[in-house]
Structure 1
Amino acid sequence: MTSFRAFLAVTAPLSSLTTASFPTRPNSLPQNRLCKFGVNCRYAEAGIKDDSRSPTIDVVADVKSEKVVVLGGSGFVGSAICKAAVSKGIEVISLSRSGRPTYPGSWVNQVNWISGDVFYANWDEILVGATAVVSTLGGFGSEEQMKRINGEANVTAVNATKDFGIPKFILISVHDYNLPSFLLSSGYFTGKRKAESEVLSKYPNSGVVLRPGIIYGKRRVDGFELPLDLVGEPLERILSATENFTKPLSSLPAFDLLLAPPVSVDDVAYAVINAVKDDDFFGIFTIEQIKEAAAKVKA
């Protein structure tokens, strides 16, 4: 008799057995669901009793908000960077001598425009909360002027940024075009390379140096818009299409002046955005690498 009762207990339908009282997660919910911003999350669905005694799950999301300081933000390249940053939800501060530009567009109102000189800037106010500094400083003039604006101004900015503890510095430099040494010894190139050296020295694991060639786009000069893209864009396509044939010639001195494709100002701007957002993006980047970086964040 005892064995017969044991047999019935073993073969009884599952519905008649007492289920375990351990709390379970509904199968309809994904296993990797995350609860953000530190709120208490409970899983519940129709027909399942919410047991308030069940343990809650607190998960704090790792939310990173970027704030970028653009040196020379009212210029041709700088304004494109400011516009691209705003489009990606990045807070932007621009420091330039001219301050707020006259560019049309709602994005202009979303940038904090500061008028000032890099050599006399109040960095304690400008750099507060910044996660990266982008420098577009550069220009032509006498040898001394080019060394000062291309080199010393950028070196000053790099050191101020480093001293303030900002984690990343991005420099817009220039392609060397395989020029002979006597041309590369001009104040323009020596200033740029001095700035590059400072960036890579102070920021060996996060500093970014972009080396574009000729930059084209719609450039505003004294209230007029110069459509440089009408020449630059088709030239870029032609040189890119014939690159496999012309690349062997680029090793010849100065031939790169004719063979290096121009770069869209938007590509430069979006390459900067990629550098701001990607902590693994650092070092020196060529023309082709700039375009690749821009493609990652354009969409």
Structure 2
Amino acid sequence: MASFSPFPAIFAPSTSFRRASFPTRPALHLKNRFSISCSYAGAGVSDDSRSATIDVVADIRSERVVVLGGSGFVGSAICKAAVSKGIEVISVSRSGRPTYPNAWVDQVTWISGDVFYVNWDEVLVGATAVVSTLGGVGSEEQMRRINGEANVVAVNAAKDYGIPKFILISVHDYNFPSFVLSSGYFTGKRKAESEVLSKYPNSGVVLRPAFIYGKRRVDGFEIPLDLVGEPLERILRATENFTKPLSSLPASDVLLAPPVSVDDVAFAVINAIKDDDIFGIFTIDQIKEAAEKARV
């Protein structure tokens, strides 16, 4: 199921916590450990019983990530970033495999399906994390279903299968008044957030970006949202010290919240996948910081 959001992704104050242990299925092996014993003798030193034995224990972590809505604008960026970091990726979306001929596309396992009817046995077994980009607009009922119920189904499936981490792409609230936030779009998103943080209190991650820009493909055409988003982000960040007094005004963030690069969102997800010690809600600035950490 492709993901799309008409609103810039905006994030509520996010807090970084130290992660406690979380339940995993006995059959799910996140790390392969092996022990190597070897003897070392320096040059000119005989290898005898006095030679020290060095015991080495190494942790090799093999990540296998399921991206819901992986063929969409944000989802495909996450898949691409994950592949670049050597992460095994499975995408589940209605449209299945994208049609554009990028090399990284061949390295993703594409599954065509609806989150409400997908066979989770074929998707979640062996996964180390689930990333959901599910969301959309429509009637009130449709928005509650796709933004809220679909994500709730995914969170509970992941929990049942013992997947240790769930990452949700949500949306910034833009300081909208309550009557706007009561719409199906936002109530659905917040319901999904609540489910993630409830079922994954020590390992769930919620990203709340504002307007996400990048090169977006729609019906075979590429829309260069970065031509507007990138300079606007630079301007707003350069003037944020002057505009902060306005941030308390209703809906002020519609104009003042810096747009977020789709690549920053993708690499913030990579950071969340790889760092077991972070969880909670990530704001726009924290998404930027997390992305930089993943790129290093």
TM-score (norm 1): 0.86
Classify the secondary structure of the residue corresponding to 1:39: strand
**Number of the residue aligned with 2:89:** 92
Aligned mate of 2:180, from 180, 183, 187: 183
- Tell me how far 1:161 sits from its aligned partner: 0.2
Aligned mate of 1:285, from 273, 278, 282: 282
**Number of the residue aligned with 1:63:** 60
Aligned mate of 2:162, from 160, 165, 176: 165
- Mapping of 1:27-38 within 5 angstroms? 37-38=34-35
Contact 2:175–2:249 (CA under 8 A) maintained in structure 1: yes
Write the letter of the residue equivalent to 1:166. Answer: I
Contact 2:128–2:163 (CA under 8 A) maintained in structure 1: yes
**Identical columns (%):** 85
Write the letter of the residue equivalent to 1:59. Answer: V
Contact 2:70–2:93 (CA under 8 A) maintained in structure 1: yes
1:116 equivalent in alignment to 2:113: yes
Distance in 1 (CA, whole Å) between partners of 2:134 and 2:45 is 63
Aligned mate of 1:141, from 133, 138, 141: 138
1:269 equivalent in alignment to 2:266: yes
State the 4+ residue runs in structure 1 displaced beyond 4 angstroms: 52-55
- Mapping of 1:246-265 within 5 angstroms? 246-265=243-262
Write the letter of the residue equivalent to 1:43. Answer: Y
Write the letter of the residue equivalent to 1:226. Answer: I
Contact 2:124–2:158 (CA under 8 A) maintained in structure 1: yes
Classify the secondary structure of the residue corresponding to 2:67: strand
**Number of the residue aligned with 1:237:** 234
- How far does the alpha carbon of each residue in 1:16-69 deviate from its partner, in whole angstroms, 9 at most, with x for none? xxxxxxxxxxxxxxxxxxxx9423211113211112685744322111111100
Classify the secondary structure of the residue corresponding to 2:61: coil
Write the letter of the residue equivalent to 1:218. Answer: K
Q: Which runs of 5+ in 2 are unaligned?
A: 1-32
**Number of the residue aligned with 1:46:** 43
- How far does the alpha carbon of each residue in 1:221-253 deviate from its partner, in whole angstroms, 9 at most, with x for none? 111111110000000000011111111111100
- Tell me how far 1:187 sits from its aligned partner: 0.4
Write the letter of the residue equivalent to 1:113. Answer: W
Distance in 2 (CA, whole Å) between partners of 1:63 and 1:130 is 15
Distance in 2 (CA, whole Å) between partners of 1:103 and 1:84 is 17
Larger Rg: 1
Classify the secondary structure of the residue corresponding to 1:119: coil
Distance in 1 (CA, whole Å) between partners of 2:39 and 2:247 is 63
* Count of residues in Structure 1 that have an aligned counterpart in Structure 2: 264
Write the letter of the residue equivalent to 1:287. Answer: I
- Compute the RMSD of aligned alpha carbons: 1.3
**Number of the residue aligned with 2:70:** 73
Write the letter of the residue equivalent to 2:81. Answer: A
Aligned mate of 1:103, from 93, 100, 103: 100
Distance in 2 (CA, whole Å) between partners of 1:293 and 1:104 is 29
**Number of the residue aligned with 1:153:** 150
- Tell me how far 1:121 sits from its aligned partner: 1.1
**Number of the residue aligned with 1:206:** 203
- Tell me how far 1:218 sits from its aligned partner: 0.3
Write the letter of the residue equivalent to 1:64. Answer: R
- How far does the alpha carbon of each residue in 1:186-236 deviate from its partner, in whole angstroms, 9 at most, with x for none? 000000000000000000000000000000000011111111100000000
Write the letter of the residue equivalent to 1:104. Answer: P
Distance in 1 (CA, whole Å) between partners of 2:127 and 2:55 is 29
Classify the secondary structure of the residue corresponding to 1:63: strand
- How far does the alpha carbon of each residue in 1:264-287 deviate from its partner, in whole angstroms, 9 at most, with x for none? 000000000000011111100110
- How far does the alpha carbon of each residue in 1:73-129 deviate from its partner, in whole angstroms, 9 at most, with x for none? 000000000000000111100000010002332111100000011001111120111
**Number of the residue aligned with 1:197:** 194
